[in-house]
Amino acid sequence: MKPRTRNGQDLLTPAAVVDRALMLADAEGLGAVTIRRLAHELDVTPMALYWHFASKEELLDAMADGLLTEMLAIAGPVETVPAGPWRQQLAALLDAQCTVLRAHPSVAPLVWTRNNLSDAALRLTERMLAVLRRAGFSPTDATRIARRAARMTTALVAVRAQFVDGDGDPDRVRDRLSALPIDEFPRVVEAAVALSGCDGPDEHYGLELVLAGIEAEAARLTPFSEPNPPPTPDRAPPQP
């Protein structure tokens, strides 16, 4: 329970390092997460971190995994499926994902880009697949949809995060757009206001768009509509 100490100083733990790294990333962007900087914040020599993580890459993996764990905590255990229609369950899962990602936007680019076989990642995929399988998708279809959905949500937040990073001035852009030759760029000039402003924080980052796409794919794949179509396994479980 209580952290082991040495010389009266608390010992460094990987979890503490990851926590601090996440704080740092949230506060000053992923670029501020530096071995030296992180070590300084933890009152420790840079090389001390290399006892717990083999490389910075591994540390980044751990950070990504931290987010996955948060998502899992929000989504709740596997048994806690609200038993509603599958679209709703799926929406809840993706929403949890978006919530966590939006809380740590600058870490988002890390999350589903590394193929994580960690416990949290596996449990999340398990949940996702469970929902989709129960909706009647075959394992391969469920996999494809799950993968795409996960990637889309993270991708949306990630792109947005990097975007905000390199963003320029707020309405300087609008002025430049409005000043364009109207005969060459009529639509751009017309939409200068909308184009220059970033979309409000209430927007779901296109989550509903992703969901709509999935529903459309669902309709295409399983013509029988809603309540519990028979599962259609297209591939036997892995050979023994």
Q: Which of 29, 46, 139, 213 binds DNA (CB under 7 A)?
A: 46
Q: Which of 19, 20, 29, 50 binds DNA (CB under 7 A)?
A: 50
* Separation between Cα atoms, residue 98 and residue 116, nearest integer Å: 18
15: contact with DNA by CB under 7 A = no
Choice between 90 and 152, CB closer to its own copies: 152
232: contact with DNA by CB under 7 A = no
Helices (H) and strands (E) in the chain, counts: 11, 2
* Separation between Cα atoms, residue 89 and residue 140, nearest integer Å: 19
Structural tokens at position 187: 């639509």
176: contact with its own copies by CB under 8 A = yes
Q: Which partner from the list DNA, its own copies, none does 4 bind, CB cut-off 5 to 8 Å by kind?
A: DNA
Least distance in angstroms from the C-beta of 122 to its own copies: 6
Choice between 10 and 208, CB closer to its own copies: 208
188: contact with DNA by CB under 7 A = no
Q: Which of 28, 99, 191, 229 binds its own copies (CB under 8 A)?
A: 191
Half-sphere exposure of 125 (CA within 13 A, CB side): 16
Neighbouring CB atoms inside 10 A of 210's CB total 23
3-state DSSP of 141-160: HHHHHHHHHHHHHHHHHHHH
Do 63 and 113 meet the contact criterion of CB atoms below 8 Å apart? no
4: contact with DNA by CB under 7 A = yes
3-state secondary structure of 138: coil
36: contact with DNA by CB under 7 A = yes
Neighbouring CB atoms inside 10 A of 169's CB total 10
Binding site for its own copies (CB under 8 A): 57, 109, 112-115, 117, 122-123, 125-126, 129-130, 133, 139-140, 142-144, 147-148, 151-152, 154-156, 158-160, 162-163, 165-168, 173-174, 176-178, 180, 184-195, 199, 206, 208-217, 233, 235, 237-238
